[in-house]
Chain A
């Protein structure tokens, strides 16, 4: 019976095409350095899953954010593990994305025909930092509050438009409930959506061009 279901689905979806186009591709000899990109992607997915779990209990308001995070740590079964993974995953993701970028630079993999992959990659790097920046405020503790205060202040030193940036980031002259609301929405909707879209294009380009080979003397 399973076979019949498989055949029926295959007829309509065409698993073979997927296999041929996505999996059964030739690659140059790859090294462990080539795993950093997919590892970054794995972390993105993991951050998404653990993050969704966290939003079940998290409340983005100055009165409740701190207590809700505390509740996740103390009251929810395995809440500490989920938050721990999300917390360390964020740090590790920044490191991995950065090292991945360095690897691409040192092996000159950004050269023809992969220039666009690099440009998208810069977008990925900046949005990853954006995830970190917005996520850091959410626990609404001292560290978070003051880190965001200085972070937005630095953005506010830009000539002419600084004041505008500062107010746009904070939702007013000071950090407030509005800032938290804004950062929350950026952290769980806006930036992940951009990140997911960019990863999609990044992967499409990688599959299209194949991974670059390790540069040899003749290159």
Chain B
């Protein structure tokens, strides 16, 4: 750029200043309004959307699908699509380092690449076209970031469409743009068509993609929630050997450990001598020599770091007399006269606490699984008799009330023992099961409410 052009530019700017405004108060005013607006928006977001709770980091949980922050998602998607390309797709660093590196370098050097002194958009169609396609591509890649490149049925169609809209169309458009460098009209058409077809193909991908069900990760953040979560986990994984209150001193009914003498884990001996981090180790690693299996994912168990923490919190607050438990919600809301319990509100938490420890896959339970509503109604060797709407002879109701079921063919052989085998349920819990089965096993609270026996209206005279 020669001095003459520079002078022209500066003079041109002076003329604009003469027609312009004052920084204070004109320009500042807009800035302040904008900043205040943003501040308000942030307060609204913080209040009404908040920050979603997440489980604690667990390096051993390799099943977790890693995802970067949202503003790097486009790069992540680009890498995945690039990996699909034949031959060069295998050279990873091309896409992870070289291409982003070149992009940043070009972005940095823009003032030295686009050297013409002209500023009006009609005189800089090529740079604007390149940037526009880039921005459209980035936005679309971000939107498509959740969609797999290979669908569950093994079809690569979605992946191909994504590669077309994310890599091939922009690439073709760039080649065409440079070919039409001197023809504004053709450059505009190329940009418009490229952007439109990218949006179209991505839109197809987004509509074709299978609906992703939001995976529910329940994260307990308050102390009472953590204690309850811990108690549920404890009930599922530990009661078998340690009993529902940790008081078992001699293990009964566990294969291989029958009659094994252990220290009750609700005793001061255990709670006072084992610190939280040592407790973490005990649960994660187990006591292989004594017969306690490992529970931490690191050692092949099922529990994440957060879950082990919850169990320890539960043990501390309910058993350790140095801790004072906060008020904890009852396991299920107490029932009024005539009220019908539902699966969602009453049965699910009860089953989780008292039955799932045995009634889940991989345990000895006559194939009776109780982890979902459907399973409770349809599984088990005696599926036909376990839960029958309105029948108090349902096996489930009999066994939880201390009646074991005899084999109809061989009357002196026990088919099903009392449930739960070790410790009878409290009467209010039994009452919930009875009312639930007698009223036809409603699933949701709304269905149950519809069955609520409303008192007959008194006839008005």
A interface residue numbers (CB < 8 A to B): 19, 22-30, 32, 34-36, 38-39, 42-43, 46, 62-63, 66, 70, 73-74, 80-81, 83-85, 87-89, 91-92, 94, 96, 102, 105-115, 118-119, 122, 126, 129, 132-133, 136, 139-147, 149-151, 154-155, 157-159, 162, 174-175, 210-213, 215-219
Contact = CB atoms under 8 A, between A and B. Distances in A.
A219 B120 contact: yes
A81 B44 CA distance: 10
A3 B212 CA distance: 67
A162 B96 CA distance: 11
B97 A105 contact: no
Contacts of B34: 32, 35-36, 38-39
Contacts of B21: 26-30
A115 B22 contact: no
Contacts of B41: 92
Contacts of B65: 146
8 contacts: A24-B23, A36-B34, A39-B35, A46-B39, A84-B47, A118-B110, A126-B104, A218-B120
A39 B27 contact: no
Given A73-B221, A126-B104, A27 B111 contact: no
A119 B42 contact: no
Query: Which 7 A-B pairs have CB atoms at the shortest separation, nearest pair first?
Result: A84-B46, A146-B66, A145-B57, A141-B54, A23-B24, A215-B119, A35-B34
B112 A150 contact: no
Contacts of A151: 68, 72
B389 to A, nearest CB: 41
Contact of B1 (A92, A112, A114): A112
Contacts of B75: 154
Interface stretch (B8-16, B183-191, B358-366, B418-426): B8-16
B119 A28 contact: no
Given A25-B22, A84-B47, A146-B64, A141 B55 contact: yes
B39 A115 contact: no
Contact of B51 (A26, A38, A87, A175): A87
B68 A30 contact: no
Given A154-B79, A158-B93, A219-B118, A213 B13 contact: yes
Contacts of B261: none
A88 B55 contact: no
Given A136-B69, A211-B27, 9 more contacts: A25-B22, A81-B47, A84-B42, A111-B117, A133-B72, A147-B66, A147-B67, A213-B16, A217-B120
Contacts of A43: 38
A25 B54 contact: no
A106 B124 CA distance: 9
Chain B contact-residue range equals 35 or more
A91 B47 CA distance: 16
Dominant secondary structure of chain A at its interface with chain B:
helix
Contacts of A211: 27
Given A159-B93, A217-B122, A150 B31 contact: no
Interface string B379-421: 0000000000000000000000000000000000000000000
Contacts of A133: 69, 72
B107 A122 contact: yes
B66 A158 contact: no
A213 B120 CA distance: 11
B61 A142 contact: yes
B321 interface: no
B32 to A, nearest CB: 9
Contacts of B18: 26
Contact of A132 (B6, B69, B79, B221): B69
A197 to B, nearest CB: 18
Interface of B: 1, 5-6, 9-10, 12-13, 16-24, 26-28, 30-31, 33-35, 38-39, 41-43, 45-47, 49-51, 53-59, 61, 64-72, 75-76, 79, 92-93, 96-97, 104, 107-108, 110-112, 114, 117-122, 124, 127-128, 131, 135, 221-222, 277
Given A85-B42, A157-B96, A162-B93, A144 B57 contact: yes
A85 B49 CA distance: 11
Contact of B59 (A73, A175, A213): A175
A210 B30 contact: no
A119 B111 contact: yes
- Most chain A beta carbons < 10 A, residue from B1, B30, B135: B30
Given A27-B22, A85-B42, A219-B118, A70 B221 contact: yes
A146 B54 contact: no
Nearest to A109: B119
Contacts of B222: 74
B46 A81 contact: yes
Given A34-B30, A102-B131, A108 B96 contact: no
B20 A28 contact: yes
A142 B55 contact: yes
B119 A85 contact: no
Contacts of B13: 28, 210, 212-213
A202 to B, nearest CB: 15
A54 to B, nearest CB: 12
Contacts of A102: 131, 135
Contacts of B79: 154
A136 B122 CA distance: 41
B23 A140 contact: no
A151 B73 CA distance: 11
Nearest to A180: B57
Nearest to A94: B71
A110 B68 contact: no
